[in-house]
Structure formats: structure tokens, C-alpha cells
Structure 1
């Protein structure tokens, strides 16, 4: 990674197109002369091709045979680069190693918005596969014209097209002197499932070697010539406003280049990193803040959230719920604020170049929205700002990466010509990253005489689950500078992808249901997207209730779910997880419990069921998950090992959230500022075994994988505790203290 050199692909180079089949970036759309009305009439294209309709937005083949594939999606640790290369290699009839993949970069790739919602394969994977298949057919057609041979007699293989008589031509030779700029077609000649050799194969992740050998793998590793180091001095709390600061002593410290103040935005720039850290601490001691108490009482958080309701939306409704006397279950469930807890604090690098253009390297999940927000914050034209994605240390949601990018950009404007590296401190990450919102849900359900659910109401209270950048008000620097941009007030929005309401509507067959989202626009704590959004808490509530209803119906929890499922693919994962776990077989040891849960992510993405065995220590309240067995159907499996990897990681992260994690705060400040005050799952508590079984669906659409496990894993833990103790815990996290209280030992 580094400053663009003359050898790299640029937008201008692509437009020149000399000696290449350029088959890469969204600006080419400006060349199309279609009127808005004509564009509206165009047929829908597969995946993200519908947003960037030209083949040259996705694939480049140079005259020397080099193949470059472009995606607007970012590698966040989910391993997405490998399957994206696999789908392209499959359709182009080349090996994965023949392809160079360029990920999210506003100067080089399509605009695919945010990398979120387990949609990379659904959107970008689909687009790349279809584009590659169409390029293959164009190459074959070109060779057919050259050889005067019907295309159906030609074969694409190893970057060449060969004829029956032995003649062959390389991809590079076919594209020499051509510039191909064609709109993709709605239908692609995809290889049939029985002809696939790369899709469905366990190809090693290409991002791993650098991470385990000490190469430059993360934005934290990036070192550019002449780079300086910066630290930002954050306010001590959300409502704090800087009164005064005497930075004279800090400015005189060794190596200090500049102390920057812009309103309540404070930063220090130094030649060396440790010099910046020491100056930052000195400025922290010298700064005086007005600090009002603006946070709610954490001890009564559920009541606070319910009282903050300002709007109500109907998520789902069918029949007329009418509860009879008799078998009714009702409960209130709560989720605390939870953090991403990225193991490495956020980091970014920015460089203001001589011509006035600003380059930013960031672990943002959306390079194009981040560019828009930063340009607005600085008052720059968007086309002078370039945001280049470079991996950070994990996020799975909107953590501090965008804010670090804005910090670096604001500081770089004061230090032209030198790359500025901003690294957050641990306590800054814990205090200032956007958290997963606290939530409250109330369930009421009843059974009919046949042991089937006949009525269901579900009310949830939640903030929005996305305050991602798109304008300067979403950035900390944009809100604290002298001329701040206020954050846009969030509004209630119910759509198929969901937010706080994600997975709030059970997939089960229930004749009478009503699901309401009681929307909370006022956010006591800073919140945004955390892996799974509202699905985590909603599935916890729904699947806990399913177990209670199964108990009331005197039914096995697995059988009870199956009697309410009408989707065969849903039933298949439930049956497979139960079979591989050995559900219903063998005695459960004293103090152990078994739990089961299922969900289809967003009700239209991946299916996942998981069974768990947990041990509950009555004396200490400690819950140890011993083993987990999951079954997942995420459509056609491109890289099965990647699917297993993501599902295993999702299960472990969910166990950590469920048993340990909660943001703490007093009336003024966030108090969970380190790993002691924000505990997480440690190696000693990792399950002895985690199995993931994949149901492959060749020829079916990609459904995504990354977030499917969060909700079911949480509910399976809760149901295992219920099975072990006979007590239903409804408040997350299911901590030792709460377990002891539930069993009467607290």
C-alpha cells in the first residue's frame, strides 16, 4: 500500500484503455447518454451489476494477460477476498492465483456502498461472477471471429481460447488494441453446477499469510515516507465542551510539530509516535472542560428506553391476536449496550498532496460514504478526496474506523505534504466507538388445544442501528470542530433488511401475530451498527420463548420448531444440527443443559440452527459452553472453509456477548474503558468443540454467512442454561451474578 505510482491502474488509464480489455469503476457510468426515463426502463441486472452496469466496472484484462477484478466491498476479516476471486476464476476458466483483486477504493472500484449485512457475496459476488461469465463469452466470440470457427467449438482454459485444430489465442492477444465498454446483459451463461471446479473448493484465504508473517496487513502497519504521528485528545464525556487549554508546555516537548485546536477538537502531531502519546497526556492534564451529566441511570435502563419512545411502526401483522385464558407465556427481555471491542484501536493515515488532493487510508466499511462525509466536513469537492480501504483489526459493524479517518483528514489539512498517522488509544476506542444499542422486547404468546402457537405479539424498543457516515455529522471530528455539523436526527424506517426490527418477525407459522417497533430517536449513548443489528436480541427473545412454549406443550424443542416451520430449507438445517449434535440421545449429566435455536437471518438470507451443551456451576454461576454443533445453508457454497470459519467465529463472538459483555456508565461518563471493566470471552472459556455442517445448494443464489450465527447462538446458550437450571434468564448478559440470582444463590 502506498502513494499511487505511474504503474498503478488509474481512472485516466482505464479510460485510455490502450492494450487492454477493460472489463473497472463507477465513474464510467457518466459516459452513458441514457436519459433518466430510459435508464428506468432498463432490465434489472444481477447483484451490484444493477448499480454499475458496465463490464468494465468489474474486470480488466491487460495485453500481457494480467487479470484484475474490482469490488466495492471491503475485506474486514471475514475472508471475502478469496471467494470473490474464486467466482471470477471459475467463470473466466483461470486459476485463482491468476487474478489480482482490488477492494474498495474510491479511485478504482465500483461504488457498492457499505460492506454490511452479510451481502458481499449476494451483491458483489453475484456481479463479479456474472460479469466474468459474460467476459468469457465475449473472449470466445472474439476468438471465433479470428479463427472463423463457431464459438461452441472453442474452449476457454488457462487464459487462452483454443480451437479443435490446435490453434489457440491468449486472452491478452484477443484484447490488444481494444477498449471494450459494454453494458452487461440480464442473463449470463454461468457454468452449470456439475462443471464447477473452483466454486465449492476449500481455497486457502489469501489474506492470512501476511497476517501471520508480519507483513503490512493492516492499516496500523502502514508506514509512508515522511510520515508523522498524531494523537487526538477526546473530551472526557459526550456532553463535554472545551473551556480552555494552555498547550504551551506540550508544544515545547521534543519532536512536537504542531498542537491543533479546532473548537473542541484537539490533536497533537509529532515526529515519533511515543512523542505524540506523551504530548497527548500532557494536553489532557492541561485541558479544562464543561462536563454536564447527560447519561441515564444504568440501573433502570429498560425503563429509560421504554420512556424514550417517540414513534411506533408495524413490522408485521396477520390475523387478529386474541389471547384466551390458559396457556399464555409472556416475558420482557433486555439487551445492554455492547461494543465492538476491536483488539487493535482504530487507525488511519491521510496525506494532503501538493496539488490539493487528499488521500486517506482507512478501515471504513464504506469508502464512498466516508469520502462524502469527509469532503463535507472539510468543505472540499468530493473528487479531490480519495478513500482507500485497508484492513484494520476487525470491526463487524460501525466502530471507530470512520472517525479515525476523519481525524487524520482534518489534521492532514494542517500538515500538507506529510502523511499523518492517527492511532486511537484503548480507552478512546472503548469510550467513543458507536455501540450496539440497548434494547427491550416484550413477548406474549399462546398455544391452541393442539399444542401449536395461535397468537403472538412482540413489542421492541430500540434506537436505530445505523448512524454510519454519509454526512459530516456522523463523524466525531465533524461534530466537535469550531463549525460543527450536527448529527442528523434518526427516523423510523422499516424495510426488508431491517435495523432494530431485524428478525423481529418469527419465521414460524403463526396465524395471529403483531410485531411493533417502538422507535427511540434520542440516543443516550452513541450507537450504530454492530454485527447482526437487532437480530441478535430479537432472536434471543423469540427462541427463548419458543423453548418456553415447547415446555408448555410438553414437546421436544426441536420437534416443536419443526411443527411450526413451513420452509423445507429451514427444516433441513434444524434436522441436520439436531442429528449431528445427537439431540435427544444420551443422558444429560448433572449441572449440564442442552439448548437449541434457529433463525433465518433477516428472514430472507442464510438459514442457521445450532445446538449447544453447557455446564452451569451453581456455586459460582459460571456458564461454560462445552460444545456447539451448527448447520448452515447460505445458498451455493463458494468456499466451504470460509463458511465454517465465519460461522465458528460468529458462535464464539455471540457466546462472549451473551455471557460477559455490557457497556457500563455513570450519569456523566462511559466507565467500561479497558478489558477489566469490559470483560470478554477468554481462551479458557472457549468451547471444547465447535462443529459447522454446511448444506450446499449448487445453482442457488448466495445468501451470505457472516452474521447468521449471532442470534441463534445467543438463544442456544440461554436455552441450555434453562435446561440445566430450570430458570429462564431474560436479561443479557447472562452473567455469573444473574445465574446465581436465578437459582437462588445470589
Structure 2
């Protein structure tokens, strides 16, 4: 199993499809990034006349299971079986820029537009079925991707049937009627993680497994010692040279003196080393007109901005293809291995794995 890579332009050129999009947004990070081109659109959802559902999210699965959870959300609002939904995560050439995958916000924040897109698509398809069947939309319901009469007596129309010969494009609505929690059949249920079978059977493609034609293996040999950093060290030691008041609210001593009971405790927290269980890894292919980087990054779009700054290439000429890595914290979040691979690839004119 590897991260599916789809071209939105190719998908949107197909007949027999329904897509939900919104104007691309400029997400600002620590490194200045280029705003999206005028008229650029982010693709959140695509259904086709083969019954396939593709759902897109700019965050990545760090092993927490958001690939499965996001698919549940899309399947729930669409009223389709979970196994019909394929999630596409963190690919700069195909997913929305939703910033870094941090602070556990993939479900509570970045899933919101996907859920709205799925609900909007369902309403649109029900309206098409109502028109085709000559009945009010309120008389219809959806079961496993088939729109049929609530009262029964009709075989109904599948989403695939409704999309045949059409090319429908919806702009993501700011507000759309979502399914009430009382009607949920997929969200909130225990379902098998979609990534586990491939991981358990050795078929899962981690970033360490990526191989591309003509690839060389590289290594960065660091100097045995850093250059003279006395000035930097002295500046750090002197900062702050004087006490700085960060906040002052109320009188702590007065509050303690007036308390009916005072509790004194000392809490000691052990050192937390955010270290991966395996080495950092990346593959880069830097060409004269652009670059492709295979990375285990948490932050595909911020990494693209970093590589753009490093190589002096426009961001739109750089593609970050994300694969899971050996953990996510520590070095895999710093993304320096991707920078190493990019510099080595540029130097030798070949794809390089580090």
C-alpha cells in the first residue's frame, strides 16, 4: 500500500464525475510561501460513474488513524459504504493546502470542509434523483449510495447512474445541512483501520521503501566539530540579561495567605525525547525545471516552501509526495533529511535517497 497520487486536472477533465471544490486558500507558515495562483481551486471530493469516491485532505496520517476516520466522515455524509471511499492525504499536487499536521486538529478542524463537501454532494445527487423520478426530494432517502423512495417500492438510482454522462462541479458551500448524529451509522462505530492489513503483511510502502529509476544512495558527512560559535553562545547566555515581566494577574501571595487550605506539591517530569524508532529518510529528484521529493514529513506544504527557498525554485515546480515514516516527531518533523536529499540530487543531477 502506498499513498495514492491523483492529478486534480486529470480528474476534473473526466465525464461522469461530480466534484466539490473551493477557491484555494493561502495558508501562511513560518517560512514565507507563495499565494495560490488566481483562480486556483482546491478539490475536496470527487465521485464518478464507476461508484468510486475520492476524498482529499491536506493533512497526513501519523499513525493515529485519521485516514480511516476521515473516510468514515465522508462515507457517513454521503451514505456510501466505507470501503468505497479512498482518502488522498498530504500530496502537494493533489490535496488542499491545510497547513501543518499538528495539535490534533485534523478531525476537529481540517475535516470540517470535507464533511460539508460530502453532505453537499449528497444533497445534489438526491436533487438529481428527484428530478429523474419526478418526486419531491423530501420523499427520497439514500442507502449505500442508492437514492430511493422512503416508502419503498422503487429500486432507486445509484450515484453512479445519476452521474453517467454528467460533469457536475460544485463550489463548497459555507453552510450545508449535515446528517444529525442520531442518524449516524458509520461515524462513532469501531471499524478496522484501513492501513493495518498492508502494515501487518509487509506490503505497506514507507518512505524508506521508495525507489525510483536511476536513484543513487547518498550520505551527508558532517564536520567533526562546529565552527567557532562563541559569539552565538555568549548571546544566548546573556538572554535575558535582565528579568522580563511576561504576565502579572492578581496577587499570588495574598491569595495564598487568604486560602482556607494551601497545598504544596512538587512535580517532576522526565525528559521527553521525541525520537523516531528508525532513521530519517527522503528521496529527491531535482531537475532543471522542478523537483519531486518523497518524504515522511508532517508538513507537506510548509516543506515545499522550505525546499523552494533552499533551491531557488518556484513552489509550483516542486511536488511533495508524502509516505509514512518511522514515527513523526523529532527529525521527521524538522525535514532536514529532505533538504539533504534535494541538495545532493541537484549536485549530481540524479535522484538521491538519504
TM-score range, shorter chain: 0.7 to 0.9
Answer whether contact 1:364 1:389 (CA < 8 A) is retained. yes
Between 1 and 2, higher relative CO (CA 8 Å, sep ≥ 6) is seen in 2
State the partner residue of 1:419.
Answer: 351
**Matches of 1:159 and 1:30 in 2, distance apart?**
35
Query: What displacement does 1:220 show?
Result: 1.1
Query: What displacement does 1:320 show?
Result: 4.6
Superposed CA offset, 1:281-320 (max 9, x none) = xxxxxxxxx6769769xxxxxxx79956775433x84x55
Query: What displacement does 1:322 show?
Result: 4.7
1:232 aligns with 2:166: no
For 1:73-112, list aligned pairs within 5 A.
73-112=59-98
**Matches of 1:171 and 1:312 in 2, distance apart?**
62
Q: In structure 1, which of residues 323, 339, 342 is the aligned counterpart of residue 276 of structure 2?
A: 342
Query: What displacement does 1:325 show?
Result: 4.3
Query: What displacement does 1:130 show?
Result: 2.0
Q: In structure 2, which of residues 119, 122, 126 is the aligned counterpart of residue 136 of structure 1?
A: 122
State the partner residue of 2:139.
Answer: 153
Q: In structure 2, which of residues 292, 295, 309 is the aligned counterpart of residue 376 of structure 1?
A: 309
State the partner residue of 2:33.
Answer: none
Answer whether contact 2:59 2:89 (CA < 8 A) is retained. yes
1:16 aligns with 2:13: yes
**Matches of 1:188 and 1:166 in 2, distance apart?**
28
* TM-score, normalised by the number of residues in structure 2: 0.83
**Matches of 1:336 and 1:88 in 2, distance apart?**
40
Structure 1 residues 13 and 328, CA gap change in structure 2 (3 angstroms)? same
| Uncovered stretches (5+) of structure 1, i.e. residues with no partner | 34-53, 242-289, 297-303, 423-746
1:223 aligns with 2:211: yes
Query: What displacement does 1:177 show?
Result: 3.8
Query: What displacement does 1:170 show?
Result: 2.2
Answer whether contact 2:275 2:331 (CA < 8 A) is retained. no
* TM-score, normalised by the number of residues in structure 1: 0.41
| Uncovered stretches (5+) of structure 2, i.e. residues with no partner | 26-35
Structure 1 residues 134 and 400, CA gap change in structure 2 (3 angstroms)? closer
**Matches of 1:74 and 1:229 in 2, distance apart?**
26
**Matches of 1:114 and 1:185 in 2, distance apart?**
24
Query: What displacement does 1:124 show?
Result: 2.1
Superposed CA offset, 1:21-42 (max 9, x none) = 1226865985659xxxxxxxxx
State the partner residue of 1:684.
Answer: none
Answer whether contact 2:22 2:171 (CA < 8 A) is retained. no
Structure 1 residues 64 and 305, CA gap change in structure 2 (3 angstroms)? farther
Structure 1 residues 26 and 73, CA gap change in structure 2 (3 angstroms)? farther
Superposed CA offset, 1:356-379 (max 9, x none) = 221111111111111011101111
Answer whether contact 1:19 1:175 (CA < 8 A) is retained. yes
State the partner residue of 1:67.
Answer: 53
> Any idea what SS the aligned residue of 1:23 has?
strand
Structure 1 residues 129 and 2, CA gap change in structure 2 (3 angstroms)? closer
Superposed CA offset, 1:524-583 (max 9, x none) = xxxxxxxxxxxxxxxxxxxxxxxxxxxxxxxxxxxxxxxxxxxxxxxxxxxxxxxxxxxx
State the partner residue of 1:406.
Answer: 339
> Any idea what SS the aligned residue of 2:219 has?
strand
Query: What displacement does 1:321 show?
Result: 4.0
Superposed CA offset, 1:683-727 (max 9, x none) = xxxxxxxxxxxxxxxxxxxxxxxxxxxxxxxxxxxxxxxxxxxxx
**Matches of 1:83 and 1:77 in 2, distance apart?**
12
State the partner residue of 1:204.
Answer: 192
State the partner residue of 1:187.
Answer: 175
Answer whether contact 1:159 1:170 (CA < 8 A) is retained. yes
Superposed CA offset, 1:63-96 (max 9, x none) = 2121100011111111111111111111111111
Q: What value does the CA root-mean-square deviation take over the aligned residues?
A: 3.3
**Matches of 1:309 and 1:65 in 2, distance apart?**
66
> Any idea what SS the aligned residue of 1:70 has?
strand
State the partner residue of 1:115.
Answer: 101
**Matches of 1:374 and 1:95 in 2, distance apart?**
39
Query: What displacement does 1:201 show?
Result: 0.9
**Matches of 2:230 and 2:37 in 1, distance apart?**
50
Structure 1 residues 405 and 189, CA gap change in structure 2 (3 angstroms)? same
Q: Count residues with an aligned counterpart.
A: 338
> Any idea what SS the aligned residue of 1:387 has?
strand
For 1:207-606, list aligned pairs within 5 A.
207-236=195-224, 240-241=226-227, 312-314=245-247, 317=249, 319-323=250-254, 325=257, 338-353=272-287, 356-396=289-329, 399=332, 402-416=335-349, 418-422=350-354
Structure 1 residues 309 and 208, CA gap change in structure 2 (3 angstroms)? farther
Superposed CA offset, 1:403-437 (max 9, x none) = 11111111121233x43111xxxxxxxxxxxxxxx
Structure with greater Cα Rg: 1
Answer whether contact 1:346 1:401 (CA < 8 A) is retained. no
